[in-house]
Structure 1
């Protein structure tokens, strides 16, 4: 009996040590703080969020399908809409997520028209260069377009790393979405790229998830949002796909209705969420110094 008890004790100690070690690698974040409600009459179905790499404290979002080919630039400290940007020659069949990352020597906004609407998916990603200035109304030209085919009906998660590599995650009930990488050869090609993989996200939820995600600007951290949770990964050696095979850590989330948008701040010191609906509430979650706070390891 003593031997059995000792084995159980050693097993529990080892488990706790692994959890502590995992948590030590993860920063803690504050509970969500309301920045402001975004008062833009045309922004009613926010889906996707991304931080500008050219303008301080500016984040981009867009409407879900049927919302027109428009990106809204928002002041992340006040919630004010600074600019409405019309993406010329683009179609919003069902835009689901947005990201900002490099494209050659420039900084580009990536838009995933990847949702399932009216019995079909566009399976298209638009890339536009960030403008040099922001004015109330802008028209941006498409820098390049990529199309793809795969086994999934839709993706609501688009992520871009510091090398301009693009990742998509399919929507699956229970959250274990298929994780895919878009080959660079897809850009500007007249032939859709096949991006099917067999890697699945190691999370479990009770909804069709995930709904959004973002890679930090320095490429070392990753957030993925489900309808009810936010999951965090450290990216090891710049390898996104391998890192996403590891168990994540859950970080704070303030539910505000149906939320399908998350992004890191440009400096990586906080993250933002924005829900759907009229006058959506923009929340910020700030990085805390030292310790691992309320983070908890999520098993496979």
Structure 2
């Protein structure tokens, strides 16, 4: 009995030690261009160190903006061609273009409420990351079309195996967490559903953003007023999100719909909607403190 108790305590200590302790957000810089005024997604480049991709919500063209993570300055404007349309882009992610590949793609979720009644609603666009960061037009690599029971998703994730996940945006935050099937290029939308729902509870329509770390071991899901964290050492994200998350520091943004890990999987960034908003970075302080959501 004593041995069993010691084993349980040891497991708890190890689990807690894996939870990073982050400091408060540091302002890296302010978005200096009026073009980026409704930042609705954020993702770290895998081939350009220190570059983040963002985009505007509905109303803008099919455009991704590359910004410098050190000062929030605009580096390049990437137009998505091949007939892509921004009906209501809600999130962006970066990951392998396909399982086992070391070629990386930008994934864009046209999954917002404003596109709900459109024939082209609920599309994930995939475009290969450009070798150089200059103003240019990128060709769509492929599209993944789906339909489901939910009104919208504002949270897109891609894991190291090129699997794509979305979470529905609902009142109370208990969104449906879905792993999308690998049916890229099909003209007819595939129906998707899930029995996995987030355990978080809020008073808003949540979540508003999400990201899987480049190493695949950490998951962030952002609500309007909270940031939630899960350890995922085995890559089973559907099982992980059924457990109680940890809450991480967050400087409240009046309309904050963007979050991402940096390319090293260590710190995370947030960016709010509006003109000339600050880019925040939250850096890890230690690995010996845990703070479980009450």
The TM-score with structure 1 as length reference comes to: 0.90
Partner of 1:155: 153
Find the residue that maps to 1:117 and give its secondary structure: helix
Unaligned runs of 5+ in 2: 1-8
1:125–1:199 Cα change, 3 Å = same
Structure 2: distance between partners of 1:266 and 1:18: 29
- After superposition, the Cα gap between the structure-2 partners of 1:263 and 1:68, relative to the gap in structure 1 and judged at 3 Å, is same
Q: Per-residue deviation at 1:237?
A: 1.0
d(CA) in 1 for partners of 2:260, 2:186: 29
Q: Once the 2 structures are TM-superposed, how far is the Cα of residue 236 of structure 1 from its aligned partner?
A: 3.4
Deviation of 1:120 after TM superposition, in Å, equals 2.2
Aligned to 1:170: 168
What is the aligned partner in structure 2 of residue 264 from structure 1? 261
TM-score of the aligned structures, taking structure 2 as reference length: 0.92
Structure 1 spans left out of the alignment, 5+ residues: 1-15
Pairwise CA RMSD of aligned residues? 1.8
State the structure with more CA Rg: 1
Output the CA distance in 2 between the equivalents of 1:249 and 1:20.
15
What CA distance in whole angstroms lies between the structure 1 residues aligned with 2:204 and 2:14?
Answer: 30
Q: Deviations over 1:52-96 (max 9, x none)?
A: 000000000000011110000000001111001000021000000
* Distance in structure 2 (CA, Å) of the matches to 1:119 and 1:170: 13
The answer to whether the Cα contact below 8 Å between 2:145 and 2:190 also exists between their aligned partners in 1 is: yes
Give the corresponding residue for 1:7: none
CA distance in 2, matches of 1:278, 1:266: 26
Distance 2:286 2:293 in 1: 22
* Aligned equivalent of 1:227: 224
* Partner residue, 2:85: 91
The residue number in structure 1 matching 2:110 is: 113
The corresponding residue for 2:252 is: 255
Alpha-carbon distance, 1:25 to partner: 2.6
The match for 1:127 is 126
Query: Residue 100 in 1 paired to residue 99 in 2?
Result: no
Partners of 2:200 and 2:56 in 1: how far apart?
27
Residue of structure 1 aligned with 2:65, choices 63, 72, 75: 72
Correspondence for 2:139 among 117, 138, 141: 141
| Corresponding residue pairs, total | 281
1:24 Cα deviation from its structure 2 partner: 2.7
- Find the counterpart in structure 1 of residue 180 from structure 2: 182
Please tell me whether the aligned partners of residues 256 and 281 of structure 1 are also in contact (alpha carbons under 8 angstroms): no
Contact 1:176/1:203 (8 A) holds in 2: yes
Aligned equivalent of 1:60? 53
CA distance in 2, matches of 1:108, 1:274: 21
Q: Distance in 1 between matches of 2:18 and 2:220?
A: 15
* Residue 296 (str. 1) matches residue 291 (str. 2): yes
Alignment check: 8 A CA contact 1:19 1:297 kept = no
